[in-house]
Amino acid sequence: MATPSIGAIEFMTLSGRVTTVGTVLVETTPDDENGHEYMALGTRAPESMLMTELDVTSDAGITTHIAACKALQGTLVTVTDPHGEDIDNVAVLDVQVDGSKRTGTAVGGINGGNRIVTLRWRVQATE
């Protein structure tokens, strides 16, 4: 399994999927003709919700991590899912803190920290 990431920031877990841009077929056959005629139209991707978790080693680390993630708002990034699939040109619309908790011992994640920060991301694929 690959290490999930949004931009250059790696996470222990990333859940949710980025819904990519698609194509729909619209029937354009005139009423007075036999047969079918279609036109392919590109569709805008809907917004997607992602959840991330990262272990940090201190309360200051929580603040630093949140600030780094919020700095991605309004930018285009590459999202790497846990299976190693890269989705390029994903717009980060919003980042919110979903919670943080302290564990009794280090969890052995990315940083070997004993605090877990959970963030909720609102993103949208642009191509």
Look up the domain containing 114 and give its range. Answer: 5-18+46-125
Residue 64's pLDDT is 95
Where helices occur in 1-127 by DSSP H, the ranges are 59-70
Q: Which residues, including other chains, have CB under 8 Å from residue 101's CB and lie 6 or more apart? A: 115, 116
For residue 42, list its beta bridge partners. Answer: 23
Band (pLDDT 50/70/90 cuts) for residue 75 is very high
31 in a structural domain? no
65 in a structural domain? yes
Closest CA to 122 of 58, 62, 69: 69
The rounded mean pLDDT for the chain is 90
95, pLDDT greater than 90? yes
101 in a structural domain? yes
CA 91 to chain centre: 9
Residue holding tokens 């919003």?
A: 94
The average pLDDT across 94-101 equals: 92
34 in a structural domain? no
